Homo-oligomer: A and B are copies of this chain.
Amino acid sequence: MTHYTKGEQTRARVIREARELIIANGFKGTSISQIIDHTGVKKGALYFHFANKDELGYSILQDARDEFFGFLERSLAGDSPLQKVHSFLSAILDQQKNQHFVGGCLFGNTALEMSDSNERFGALILSVFTGWIDRLAGLLEEARQGGELDRGTNPLLLAKTMVAAIEGGIMMARLSKNRSDLEDCISQLRLLLH
């Protein structure tokens, strides 16, 4: 069992609660004073844990990255590599349904808002997409070698397209509040897994 100090607990709570604000209003659209109001943290305590807004933003992205890769691994249920990819597709759809398609994907949102202007944020977000694509591509390659997937499939191209279509589908479903936008993309992607 891990014991956290009060300071560590505060830091973790600020990261999670500030993330909600940033998902709702974007990074640039969220001010330090809004974060203080929303979390109830004292200004001195905030600056003790995070030197500035960029440091807080980076910590939020790191935390979200760790959470996402945990989610990804837990989602990969099934007896075969292809079954694991199908399970992941179900899990991501459920996750977006559970949040009623509000908020979208923090990485996609922040990528579009910040990637031209903040290289450090951009590099971290890119590592999320790269790691995600590589994990799926590895499973697709296993599936291909095991005869579950057509021999002519290019695992990396397919994994990249899956991640791109999921990110685009999340964006469209968030816009339309219509679950079928992401569902349709995922149904189409499943058709490629044979």
Which A residues fall within an 8 A CB radius of B? 24-26, 28-29, 102-104, 108-109, 111-113, 115-117, 122, 125-126, 129, 154, 156-158, 160-161, 163-169, 171-172, 174-176, 181, 184-185, 187-189, 192
Assess whether A157 is in contact with B24, with CB atoms less than 8 Å apart: no
* Protomer copies: 2
**CB–CB B108/A188 < 8 A:** no
Given contacts A28-B26, A116-B24, A126-B176, contact A111 B160 (CB under 8 A): no
A165 touches which of B108, B154, B165, B176 (Cβ 8 Å)? B165
Contact in complex: A108, B171 (CB < 8 Å):
yes
- CB of B26 within 8 A of CB of A126, answer no
Q: 24 A–B contact pairs at CB < 8 A?
A: A25-B117, A26-B113, A29-B29, A104-B112, A109-B113, A112-B171, A112-B174, A113-B113, A122-B175, A126-B172, A126-B176, A156-B184, A157-B184, A157-B188, A160-B185, A161-B169, A161-B185, A161-B188, A163-B168, A164-B166, A165-B165, A166-B168, A167-B168, A167-B171
